[in-house]
């Protein structure tokens, strides 16, 4: 099975320093959902792994997170895209959990659920945490410059072999050209 793992905020949708706390605040980055549809059309399964510490912080509850994800899935479906699974970590950065990126727990769980060896699986994100989790499972870290991506690139210290693209559509172009 061909798999791509995506971060959510800053990769699929516009990010906010104040968290995405409602479905109304969830806005897709132009071309991102169509890029997922192109991945699907080329035989890729798509998973989302997203830190959502706003839950533990009390900024949103599970019903609201589910409504945000329902909006994302509906918007994806409207352009012919399909997201196979969504994993999230509800814990804050202070929590010592196995799931919050940069820990690789969510990615490991995705690999186990889909029965995929994560070695060289493209993992696309906009933050150092996303890239570190990808590297920890032997995935292929890919940085997009949307969301926090430019700041991440400018700070340096990217995992070895990290590829950098302007946005998700550009990253998908490269993945499809190489497959």
Active site residue 9: yes
Cβ 13 vs Cβ 72: under 8 Å: yes
Cβ 146 vs Cβ 93: under 8 Å: no
Measured in residues, the chain has a length of 179
Cβ 64 vs Cβ 21: under 8 Å: yes
Q: Distance between CA atoms of 53 and 134, rounded to whole angstroms?
A: 19
Catalytic site residue from 9, 126, 130, 167: 9
Cβ 131 vs Cβ 107: under 8 Å: no
Active site residue 7: yes
Give the dihedral sign, CA 109/113/116/117.
positive
Separate counts of helices (H) and strands (E) for the chain: 6, 6
Active site residues: 7, 9
């Amino acid at each position: 099975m061909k798999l791509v793992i995506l971060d959510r905020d800053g990769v699929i949708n516009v990010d906010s320093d104040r968290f995405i706390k409602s479905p109304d605040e969830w806005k897709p980055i132009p071309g991102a959902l169509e890029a997922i549809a192109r991945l699907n059309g080329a035989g890729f399964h798509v998973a989302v792994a997203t830190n959502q510490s706003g839950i533990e912080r009390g900024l949103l509850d599970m019903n609201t997170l589910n409504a945000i994800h329902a909006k994302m899935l509906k918007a994806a479906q409207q352009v012919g895209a399909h997201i196979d699974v969504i994993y999230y970590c509800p814990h804050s950065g202070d929590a010592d959990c196995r799931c919050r990126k940069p820990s690789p727990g969510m990615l490991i769980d995705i690999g186990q659920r889909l029965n995929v060896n994560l070695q060289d699986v493209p993992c696309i994100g906009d933050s150092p945490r996303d890239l570190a989790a990808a590297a920890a499972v032997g995935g292929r870290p890919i940085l997009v410059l949307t969301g926090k991506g430019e700041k991440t690139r400018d700070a340096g210290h990217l995992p070895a072999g990290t590829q950098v693209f302007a946005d998700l559509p550009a990253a998908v172009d490269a993945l499809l050209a190489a497959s």
